[in-house]
Each structure stands twice: as C-alpha cells, then as structure tokens.
A and B are shown apart, each in its own frame.
Chain A
Amino acid sequence: QVQLQQSGAELAKPGSSVKISCKASGYTFTSYYISWIKQTTGQGLEYIGYINTGSGGTNYNEKFKGKATLTVDKSSSTAFMQLSSLTPDDSAVYYCARLGANWEGDYWGQGVMVTVSS
C-alpha cells in the first residue's frame, strides 16, 4: 500500500534551518511528483511547491521562494524539504503529499510539526 512516512517533530531556534524528510513506499517513486503543504491554524493550508521525483525539477509558490528548498534522493525514495532562516511564522505542521494525475494530493504523509522558538 502507498505510504509516505515523514520525519519527526522539530524544535528550532529563529534564524536556523531544518530539513524534513518524506519516505515513500508501495509504489514507483519516480512515477509521481511530491508536493509540500504548510498548515497553520491561522492561515489554513498553503501550497509550498512540488518536486519532479524523476528529474529533480521544482516549482515553488512565490511566497515560499527563498524559504523552502525541495530535493529528492531517488536511491532511498525520499523527498526532502529544507526550511531556512526560520522565524516564528514558520511554526506549522508540514505535510508531503503525492500528486495524482489531476494534481490532487492522493496520499499524504502524517505531517511534521515544526516549532520555532528561542
């Protein structure tokens, strides 16, 4: 069965970076793009961007350019998102989701809570 297993919760200081992972199983990793989504109580769900798991090509929501960097390791079927120059506004739950044929998130990881605090 398709599964996306994300890494554990992160507590980070302002100005630092975190890198969270999303390990895929149960399907051919390079056949589907992986997207990343931010969820907060105040802003709801926000689309960060996606990565072409075959080529490594990326597409970012303008708001997250310079904040998020998406990469992939095909050998381990894992997608990564690095968040840099963290501020308290980056505190959120971050999800990865597999993109289906119509650009819907057909399978989601369990989410990673990132807390930015001094």
Chain B
Amino acid sequence: DTVLTQSPALAVSPGERVSISCRASEGVNSYMHWYQQKPGQQPKLLIYKASNLASGVPARFSGSGSGTDFTLTIDPVEADDTATYFCQQSWNDPTFGAGTKLELK
C-alpha cells in the first residue's frame, strides 16, 4: 500500500498562511486529493488532482506538488478553518493520510 504521511497537528493565528504537507511512500503522479473534516461531519473535498479547486471551495485554499510531495495551503486562515485535513491518493490502490488537525491560536 502507498503510505501517506502527514504531520499530526498545526496551530496558527487567523490571517496567517499555513501549509499542510503530505508525503507519499511512492510516486502517485498528480493523483493526490485533499479533504476537510470538521467534528461530526463527513469529509469535504477541497482540492483534486493536486492543484484543482473543488466546486464551491474558497480560493484561500490551494494545492501543489507531484510525485511524492504535496502541499495544501490556506491563505489567509480563518476561524472556520479549524478542522482535520486529509490527503488521499488514487494513483495506486486508494489510501488516505492520517490527517493533520489544524487549530487556531
């Protein structure tokens, strides 16, 4: 299986820029997707295929990367962005990262 490694948690202040990383154990081309999940809710697609903004998602969210290293950037961060962010690859048998919990200071 392709293992996706994310840092477990980050804390930032509103208005700052934050980058959340995801590293794949093997190349996944550009088939990396990002989701936001708030407590008690289902995941919501933010970015698909590394850098494409999903429908209805604010332009504060962006994605980059290819191969094994990917980044989700939120700029500027807002209070409502408190959530866990997951990466998922679909180049090989699909797998998810363990998630990065974003907290606001």
Contact = CB atoms under 8 A, between A and B. Distances in A.
Interface of A: 35, 37, 44-47, 61, 95, 97, 100, 102-111
Contacts of A104: 33, 45, 48-49, 88, 90
Given A37-B96, A45-B99, A103-B90, 8 more contacts: A44-B96, A45-B86, A47-B93, A47-B96, A95-B43, A100-B45, A102-B31, A104-B33
Interface residues of B, number: 22
Contacts, number: 56
A83 to B, nearest CB: 19
Contacts of A106: 45, 48, 54-55
Contacts of A44: 86, 96-99
A37 B43 CA distance: 11
A103 B86 contact: no
A5 B83 CA distance: 23
Interface of B: 31, 33, 35, 41-45, 48-49, 54-55, 86, 88, 90, 93-99
A46 B44 CA distance: 16
A114 to B, nearest CB: 15
B42 to A, nearest CB: 4
B98 A47 contact: no
Contact of A45 (B41, B44, B96): B96
A21 to B, nearest CB: 16
Most buried by B among A46, A104, A105, A109: A104
Nearest to B89: A103
